[in-house]
Amino acid sequence: MKKILIPLDGTERSMHSIDLVKNLYTTDEIELILMYVKEDAKLFIEEKDFLEAEKEMQDIVAPAIKQLEGYKVACEVGFVEPGKEILKSAAMNKVDIIIMTKSTKKGLTRMIGSVTSYVVKHAPCIVMIVPE
C-alpha cells in the first residue's frame, strides 16, 4: 500500500490534489496524510498556540476528509517552515509520493512556488505537482 502526503494550505487550489488522488487511486491502494503547516514566524512554545494551530488544521482538512470518505486518512500539523516540515513528515512516515499544487504567483521562480520548489529539490520520494 502506497503512502501519500498531501500538504494543504486552506486554498481552493490546494484541494485539487484531492481530486487527483481520487482519480488515480482506489481506497484500498493508498494511505493518505493530510498536512497543514502554520507559517507564523513566532516559535510555538505555549500549548495554546499549538492547540490553536491544530484547530486551524482541522478547519482546513475537514473538507478534504469529507471528500476522501472511505480512504485511510491521517492528519498532521507543522510549524514555521512548510518545505522543511513537509520533508520531515515524508521521511518520518516513509511516504512514497508527495502531491502538491503549483503556485498561482507570476514569474519564473514562482511558477511552481517556493515551497513546492524546495520540496521537489530535496524530497526523498516522488513529488507530483498538480496544475490548476
- DSSP state, residue 45: -
Cell 530535496 sits at which residue?
A: 122
Q: Would the pTM count as exceeding 0.75? A: yes
- Give the integer Cα–Cα distance in Å for 50 and 115: 22
Residues 6+ apart with CB under 8 A from 80: 37, 38, 39, 40, 41, 43, 44
How do the domains of the chain map onto residue ranges? 2-130
- For residue range 22-66, list pLDDT tens digits in order: 999 999 999 999 998 877 655 555 666 677 777 887 888 899 999
Q: Return the CATH fold of 2-130.
A: Rossmann fold (3.40.50)
